Chain A
Protein backbone atom coordinates (compact mmCIF):
# COMPACT_ATOMS: atom_id res chain seq x y z
CA UNK A 1 0.00 0.00 0.00
CA UNK A 2 1.19 3.53 -0.63
CA UNK A 3 4.00 2.33 -2.91
CA UNK A 4 5.72 -0.03 -0.49
CA UNK A 5 6.06 -3.67 -1.39
CA UNK A 6 7.19 -6.57 0.71
CA UNK A 7 7.70 -10.06 -0.55
CA UNK A 8 6.85 -12.76 -0.02
CA UNK A 9 3.66 -12.51 2.03
CA UNK A 10 4.35 -15.83 3.76
CA UNK A 11 7.77 -17.37 4.27
CA UNK A 12 8.73 -20.68 5.83
CA UNK A 13 12.26 -21.62 6.87
CA UNK A 14 14.05 -24.29 8.82
CA UNK A 15 15.80 -23.38 12.03
CA UNK A 16 19.44 -22.48 11.51
CA UNK A 17 18.95 -20.85 8.11
CA UNK A 18 19.37 -17.18 7.38
CA UNK A 19 16.52 -15.55 5.49
CA UNK A 20 16.25 -12.16 3.79
CA UNK A 21 13.01 -10.21 3.61
CA UNK A 22 12.67 -7.64 0.88
CA UNK A 23 11.24 -4.13 1.13
CA UNK A 24 10.99 -1.74 -1.79
CA UNK A 25 9.41 1.71 -1.97
CA UNK A 26 8.80 4.02 -4.91
CA UNK A 27 7.73 7.01 -2.83
CA UNK A 28 11.15 8.66 -2.92
CA UNK A 29 11.22 8.56 0.87
CA UNK A 30 14.49 9.10 2.68
CA UNK A 31 13.68 7.12 5.84
CA UNK A 32 12.87 3.42 6.08
CA UNK A 33 12.10 1.16 9.03
CA UNK A 34 11.73 -2.48 10.00
CA UNK A 35 9.34 -3.56 12.75
CA UNK A 36 8.44 -6.87 14.27
CA UNK A 37 4.90 -7.60 15.48
CA UNK A 38 4.01 -10.55 17.68
CA UNK A 39 0.41 -11.65 18.33
CA UNK A 40 -1.50 -9.22 20.48
CA UNK A 41 1.44 -6.86 20.74
CA UNK A 42 2.52 -3.55 19.35
CA UNK A 43 5.29 -2.92 16.87
CA UNK A 44 8.90 -3.14 17.97
CA UNK A 45 11.59 -1.37 16.01
CA UNK A 46 14.38 -3.57 14.66
CA UNK A 47 16.41 -1.19 12.47
CA UNK A 48 15.88 2.14 10.79
CA UNK A 49 17.64 4.16 8.14
CA UNK A 50 17.36 7.89 7.70
CA UNK A 51 19.41 8.08 4.53
CA UNK A 52 21.15 5.85 1.99
CA UNK A 53 24.23 4.02 3.27
CA UNK A 54 23.33 4.72 6.88
CA UNK A 55 21.23 2.82 9.42
CA UNK A 56 20.78 2.55 13.18
CA UNK A 57 19.78 -0.22 15.54
CA UNK A 58 16.33 -0.12 17.02
CA UNK A 59 15.17 -1.71 20.25
CA UNK A 60 15.52 -5.36 19.18
CA UNK A 61 18.35 -5.49 16.62
CA UNK A 62 20.07 -8.61 17.95
CA UNK A 63 19.97 -11.45 15.43
CA UNK A 64 19.06 -9.14 12.53
CA UNK A 65 21.04 -7.26 9.90
CA UNK A 66 20.14 -4.70 7.23
CA UNK A 67 21.64 -2.79 4.35
CA UNK A 68 20.66 0.44 2.60
CA UNK A 69 22.62 0.56 -0.64
CA UNK A 70 19.78 2.14 -2.60
CA UNK A 71 17.20 4.70 -1.53
CA UNK A 72 14.30 2.53 -2.55
CA UNK A 73 15.44 -0.73 -0.95
CA UNK A 74 15.95 -1.78 2.68
CA UNK A 75 16.29 -5.59 2.98
CA UNK A 76 16.25 -7.28 6.36
CA UNK A 77 18.16 -10.50 7.07
CA UNK A 78 16.97 -12.68 9.91
CA UNK A 79 20.00 -14.65 10.97
CA UNK A 80 20.23 -17.98 12.73
CA UNK A 81 21.28 -16.05 15.84
CA UNK A 82 17.75 -14.70 16.26
CA UNK A 83 16.31 -16.95 18.95
CA UNK A 84 12.63 -16.51 18.22
CA UNK A 85 12.29 -15.41 14.58
CA UNK A 86 8.70 -16.47 13.93
CA UNK A 87 6.72 -13.22 13.66
CA UNK A 88 5.01 -10.73 11.37
CA UNK A 89 7.58 -8.33 9.87
CA UNK A 90 6.53 -4.89 8.71
CA UNK A 91 8.56 -2.46 6.66
CA UNK A 92 7.71 1.24 6.58
CA UNK A 93 9.00 4.43 5.04
CA UNK A 94 8.56 8.15 5.63
CA UNK A 95 9.48 11.24 3.65
CA UNK A 96 11.80 12.34 6.41
CA UNK A 97 12.47 11.21 9.94
CA UNK A 98 9.56 12.03 12.21
CA UNK A 99 6.97 12.19 9.42
CA UNK A 100 4.01 9.83 9.09
CA UNK A 101 5.05 6.32 8.19
CA UNK A 102 3.67 4.29 5.30
CA UNK A 103 3.65 0.56 5.88
CA UNK A 104 4.03 -2.33 3.50
CA UNK A 105 1.67 -5.34 3.63
CA UNK A 106 4.11 -7.33 5.80
CA UNK A 107 5.79 -10.72 5.63
CA UNK A 108 4.73 -13.49 7.98
CA UNK A 109 7.80 -15.59 8.74
CA UNK A 110 7.52 -19.05 10.26
CA UNK A 111 10.66 -20.87 11.36
CA UNK A 112 10.40 -24.51 12.40
Chain B
Protein backbone atom coordinates (compact mmCIF):
# COMPACT_ATOMS: atom_id res chain seq x y z
CA UNK B 1 0.00 0.00 0.00
CA UNK B 2 0.90 3.65 -0.10
CA UNK B 3 3.37 4.79 2.50
CA UNK B 4 4.72 8.02 3.80
CA UNK B 5 8.29 8.35 5.05
CA UNK B 6 8.97 10.44 8.12
CA UNK B 7 12.49 11.39 9.20
CA UNK B 8 14.32 11.37 11.48
CA UNK B 9 12.93 8.62 13.69
CA UNK B 10 14.50 10.12 16.82
CA UNK B 11 15.96 13.50 17.68
CA UNK B 12 17.66 14.59 20.89
CA UNK B 13 18.20 18.31 21.33
CA UNK B 14 19.32 20.69 24.04
CA UNK B 15 16.59 22.98 25.28
CA UNK B 16 16.63 26.12 23.18
CA UNK B 17 17.82 24.39 20.00
CA UNK B 18 15.62 24.11 16.94
CA UNK B 19 13.99 20.90 15.68
CA UNK B 20 12.63 19.82 12.32
CA UNK B 21 10.82 16.69 11.18
CA UNK B 22 10.10 15.86 7.55
CA UNK B 23 7.37 13.89 5.87
CA UNK B 24 7.91 12.63 2.31
CA UNK B 25 5.72 10.89 -0.23
CA UNK B 26 6.48 9.59 -3.71
CA UNK B 27 3.01 10.54 -4.92
CA UNK B 28 0.96 13.70 -4.70
CA UNK B 29 -0.95 14.24 -1.49
CA UNK B 30 -4.44 15.59 -1.13
CA UNK B 31 -3.67 17.08 2.23
CA UNK B 32 -1.53 16.49 5.28
CA UNK B 33 -2.25 16.62 8.98
CA UNK B 34 0.19 16.80 11.89
CA UNK B 35 -0.37 15.25 15.31
CA UNK B 36 1.56 15.22 18.58
CA UNK B 37 1.56 12.32 21.03
CA UNK B 38 3.00 12.88 24.49
CA UNK B 39 4.63 9.89 26.21
CA UNK B 40 1.88 7.59 27.47
CA UNK B 41 -0.80 9.68 25.79
CA UNK B 42 -2.83 9.73 22.63
CA UNK B 43 -2.34 11.73 19.41
CA UNK B 44 -3.62 15.29 19.43
CA UNK B 45 -4.30 17.18 16.22
CA UNK B 46 -2.02 20.14 15.51
CA UNK B 47 -2.82 21.36 12.02
CA UNK B 48 -3.96 20.52 8.50
CA UNK B 49 -2.30 21.75 5.30
CA UNK B 50 -4.18 21.64 2.02
CA UNK B 51 -2.71 24.13 -0.47
CA UNK B 52 0.51 23.81 -2.42
CA UNK B 53 3.31 25.81 -0.76
CA UNK B 54 1.19 26.55 2.28
CA UNK B 55 2.93 27.80 5.44
CA UNK B 56 1.18 27.99 8.79
CA UNK B 57 2.52 29.05 12.17
CA UNK B 58 1.45 28.24 15.70
CA UNK B 59 3.63 30.16 18.15
CA UNK B 60 7.05 28.42 17.90
CA UNK B 61 5.80 25.80 15.42
CA UNK B 62 6.01 26.34 11.65
CA UNK B 63 4.35 23.93 9.22
CA UNK B 64 5.09 23.83 5.51
CA UNK B 65 3.54 21.97 2.58
CA UNK B 66 5.75 21.50 -0.45
CA UNK B 67 5.01 23.12 -3.79
CA UNK B 68 4.50 19.72 -5.40
CA UNK B 69 2.37 18.53 -2.46
CA UNK B 70 4.67 15.56 -1.92
CA UNK B 71 6.40 16.63 1.27
CA UNK B 72 5.90 18.61 4.42
CA UNK B 73 7.89 19.76 7.42
CA UNK B 74 7.29 20.76 11.01
CA UNK B 75 9.85 23.12 12.53
CA UNK B 76 10.02 24.04 16.21
CA UNK B 77 12.04 27.11 17.13
CA UNK B 78 13.82 27.20 20.50
CA UNK B 79 12.55 23.89 21.87
CA UNK B 80 11.23 23.59 25.41
CA UNK B 81 10.80 20.52 27.60
CA UNK B 82 7.07 20.73 26.95
CA UNK B 83 7.76 19.91 23.30
CA UNK B 84 8.78 16.35 24.22
CA UNK B 85 6.76 13.71 22.41
CA UNK B 86 6.28 12.00 19.09
CA UNK B 87 5.19 14.02 16.08
CA UNK B 88 3.27 12.25 13.35
CA UNK B 89 2.31 13.35 9.91
CA UNK B 90 -0.85 11.82 8.45
CA UNK B 91 -1.66 12.02 4.78
CA UNK B 92 -4.53 11.52 2.45
CA UNK B 93 -3.96 10.60 -1.18
CA UNK B 94 -5.89 11.23 -4.34
CA UNK B 95 -8.69 13.73 -4.52
CA UNK B 96 -9.29 13.63 -0.81
CA UNK B 97 -12.34 12.85 1.30
CA UNK B 98 -11.60 9.15 1.29
CA UNK B 99 -11.72 9.17 5.06
CA UNK B 100 -8.51 7.19 5.16
CA UNK B 101 -5.41 8.71 6.73
CA UNK B 102 -2.01 7.07 6.46
CA UNK B 103 0.28 7.89 9.35
CA UNK B 104 4.03 8.22 9.18
CA UNK B 105 6.13 6.33 11.70
CA UNK B 106 6.66 9.47 13.72
CA UNK B 107 9.63 11.46 14.99
CA UNK B 108 10.28 11.19 18.72
CA UNK B 109 11.72 14.35 20.21
CA UNK B 110 13.69 14.38 23.43
CA UNK B 111 14.67 17.73 24.94
CA UNK B 112 17.46 18.01 27.50
CA UNK B 113 16.88 20.78 30.02
Report which A residues bind B (CB closer than 8 A).
1, 31, 33, 35, 40-45, 48, 50, 56, 58-59, 90, 92, 97-98, 100-106
Contact = CB atoms under 8 A, between A and B. Distances in A.
A101 B92 CA distance: 13
B42 A42 contact: no
A90 B103 contact: no
Contacts, number: 60
B98 A105 contact: no
B18 to A, nearest CB: 24
Given A90-B43, A98-B31, A106-B42, A59 B101 contact: no
Contacts of B1: 59
Given A33-B101, A97-B98, A98-B98, 14 more contacts: A31-B99, A42-B104, A43-B88, A43-B90, A43-B103, A45-B102, A48-B100, A56-B100, A59-B102, A100-B45, A101-B33, A101-B43, A101-B101, A105-B41
B100 A58 contact: yes
15 contacts: A1-B44, A31-B99, A33-B101, A40-B9, A40-B108, A41-B106, A42-B106, A43-B43, A43-B103, A45-B101, A56-B99, A56-B100, A101-B45, A101-B90, A106-B42
Contact of A42 (B33, B44, B105): B105
A35 B103 CA distance: 10
Contacts of B96: 98
